[in-house]
Structure 1
Amino acid sequence: MTTPPRHKLHQELAPRVEEFRRKETTGLALADHQALGKPLGPPETWDLEIDDRDIPGPDTVIPLRVYRPAGQPSAPRPCLVWLHGGAWVGGDLDMPEAHETARGVAGRADAVVVSVDYRLCSETVHFPAPQNDVVAAYRWVRDHAVDLGVDPDRVALGGASAGGNLAAGATLRLRDEGEAPWQALLLYPLVHVPIPAPSDDLAAALTQVPAPLLLTGEQLGMVLPLMLDGTPVEEASPYVFPGHCDDLSGFPPTYVDNDEFDPLRSSGERFAEQLRAAGVEVEQTLSAGVMHGHLNIVGLDAAHATLDRMAARLLKG
């Protein structure tokens, strides 16, 4: 009798992964990677007012996209300042992880979501430029709360992947400057380098995924010198990788959502442990059956479930 695998990919994603695995032997193309993230259904429908704005940053203009439910609220709304992923070098306001996440959370929670087009790292842009943009955007929201219809005491900061990293680092910095956000929402974040060793459970899950689909230390090693402008990781500020901060007390209540089949899961899990040890309220969940970046797949039920949980956080008093 064959024992079923303990870890099982989502039923709609498993065929895509198997097709990818089959093509490994004949050579993979960019289209094969893109096929993994094809929509599984149409975008959700929400009645929102969406407008793009440019705000002044410390040394640049920062583009934002503001999502507000239509109609006048009976009271100021909660707000999420949201950061997309993209390994610090890619991503934009139109990718599903930015646009569909912002729409979905705003609609579900009757909340304002401000999506930030922070600067991407390049040969001329390095840390702390992206984080400076995030902090400036958060402060702009607080300063313009009345115009936005936002409760200034209920402004959360969140992001996914590299955006989760930036959200965690900016939250730590704002804590140190006496302006900690209401709460932090961290989706499959990377907050440690090197990535912590996987648990036995995670190691078993990763065996189900083709190696080219897993982030490796070697790949990180190609991006980090660009992000840090050559500064060795061990000399970087804790604001870059807050999992290496010695004191996380005073960090705001935090939601951490990790993907089951994702090497970065060990970083998110470890950070949740560190926050709890520092006395921080943490809600931690595992998005089962999915790989890194599941919010980028339009129509995925696991993504909808994550948006439900994020909205529930904003609906708290």
Structure 2
Amino acid sequence: MMPLDPYLAERLHLVSGLTFADLADPGALSRFGEFMRDPKEWTQPDVVVDNRETAGPHGPVPVRTYTPRHPGSTAVLWVHGGGFLGGDLDMPEAHVVAAELAARAGAVVVSVDYRLANGGVHYPVPVDDVCAAWRWLRTELAADAEVVALGGASAGAALALAAALRDRDEALRPADLLLLAYPFAHFPVPALETATAADMTALPPTMRFTTADIEFMVRNYVGRLTDLPRDALPGAAPLHGLPPVHVLVSEYDDLRPSAELLARQLTASEVEVRTYLAAGMPHGHLNRTPALAEVDRSLDFFADALR
């Protein structure tokens, strides 16, 4: 076991005991914002950013494209996380990741603003939106690309994997590569190893997922906790016939066992898998910037796969 990243560890006092409900208080919100500040400001690399939309079965799907000055022959659809009910194209896990992958891999990256599980929206609407954006990327924007990859983070990784499974089941051209960051792919989530669980007791509630948190996300997304569709949390689906998968694992993450189980399931399904453990990092560490060394290495893990 590695200790929590030193930069994060020395700032834990800022969020000690804080819950997300506490963030309604301006003082608590200010402390949380200070905790989330990285060692230096992120500067966007030299990529052209364009907001567009594509048609989907539930209406237009907003997308944001990131094009390097000298693009290669690779394209990526990237799906942010947020428990199926939060997140947007401006969050670092969407904007920073997409810009960095475009610059590092010379790839055209499309970030998708799928409908969130709010206001009566449930599965399969978010998957439908991701599939619509993915098929637009593959057949129109990047029809001539040599490598077309599909990826996402946390709940977004589940959506990306579900889209890949639809392609397989419908005998469409599959992705050439899947990039899955700390995927939330199972319900129930397997238990943490004892040593990891003990090390995580010092983390504040804003860095943890309780059983109640996980059940809320699933119920909010699917509408129930039982008889879940196999591709809603797609670790339950048959996984054979998928392209190579790169799985990024956060070390201090209540959802880490889902990522690790998924990697074992893929291997058992004769799918090529590579994993990278982001040492000392909590869940959602791609919402930080490359100013943190382990975030930088995590982005390189995906960029190297694309190259």
Following the alignment from structure 1 to structure 2, what is the Cα–Cα distance between the partners of residues 205 and 126?
35
Who is 2:294 aligned against? 302
Who is 1:194 aligned against? 188
Following the alignment from structure 2 to structure 1, what is the Cα–Cα distance between the partners of residues 296 and 253?
19
Who is 1:3 aligned against? none
Cα offset, 1:43, TM superposition: 1.4
Who is 1:222 aligned against? 216
User: Equivalent of 1:100, from 96, 102, 117?
Assistant: 96
User: Equivalent of 2:151, from 143, 149, 158?
Assistant: 158
Who is 1:69 aligned against? 68
Cα offset, 1:208, TM superposition: 3.8
Unaligned ranges ≥5, structure 2:
none
Following the alignment from structure 1 to structure 2, what is the Cα–Cα distance between the partners of residues 123 and 59?
14
Who is 1:41 aligned against? 40
Q: How does 1:6-85 map to 2 (within 5 A)?
A: 6-21=1-16, 29-71=28-70, 73=71, 77-85=73-81
Q: How does 1:135-214 map to 2 (within 5 A)?
A: 135-145=131-141, 148=142, 151=145, 153-179=146-172, 180-214=174-208
User: Structure 1's 149 and 143: CA in aligned 2 closer, same or farther, altered over 3 A?
Assistant: closer
TM-score by length of 2: 0.91
Following the alignment from structure 2 to structure 1, what is the Cα–Cα distance between the partners of residues 240 and 18?
48
Q: Which amino acid letter does the alignment assign opposite residue 77 of structure 2?
A: V
Following the alignment from structure 2 to structure 1, what is the Cα–Cα distance between the partners of residues 179 and 196?
22
Q: Which amino acid letter does the alignment assign opposite residue 210 of structure 1?
A: P
Would you say how many aligned residue pairs link Structure 1 and Structure 2?
299
Cα offset, 1:164, TM superposition: 1.1
Q: Which amino acid letter does the alignment assign opposite residue 154 of structure 1?
A: V
Cα offset, 1:150, TM superposition: 5.1
User: Equivalent of 1:119, from 115, 120, 129?
Assistant: 115
What CA deviation, in whole Å up to 9, does each residue of 1:42-85 have, x standing for no partner? 214422111111111112100110001114x5xx5211100111
Cα offset, 1:174, TM superposition: 1.7
Cα offset, 1:271, TM superposition: 0.4
Who is 1:134 aligned against? 130
What CA deviation, in whole Å up to 9, does each residue of 1:281-307 have, x standing for no partner? 000111001111111112222111111
User: Equivalent of 2:303, from 285, 290, 311?
Assistant: 311
TM-score by length of 1: 0.88
Q: Which amino acid letter does the alignment assign opposite residue 90 of structure 2?
A: D
SS at match of 1:43: coil
SS at match of 1:41: coil
Following the alignment from structure 2 to structure 1, what is the Cα–Cα distance between the partners of residues 217 and 245?
27
Cα offset, 1:204, TM superposition: 3.3
Following the alignment from structure 2 to structure 1, what is the Cα–Cα distance between the partners of residues 64 and 135?
15
SS at match of 1:168: helix
Cα offset, 1:144, TM superposition: 1.1
Q: Which amino acid letter does the alignment assign opposite residue 91 of structure 1?
A: G
SS at match of 1:12: helix
Who is 1:243 aligned against? 235
| Identical amino acids, percent of aligned pairs | 40
Following the alignment from structure 1 to structure 2, what is the Cα–Cα distance between the partners of residues 51 and 36?
31
Q: CA contact under 8 A between 1:164 and 1:188: conserved in structure 2?
A: yes
Following the alignment from structure 1 to structure 2, what is the Cα–Cα distance between the partners of residues 124 and 234?
19
SS at match of 2:257: helix
Unaligned ranges ≥5, structure 1:
1-5
User: Equivalent of 2:105, from 109, 129, 135?
Assistant: 109
Following the alignment from structure 1 to structure 2, what is the Cα–Cα distance between the partners of residues 198 and 22?
21
User: Structure 1's 150 and 304: CA in aligned 2 closer, same or farther, altered over 3 A?
Assistant: farther
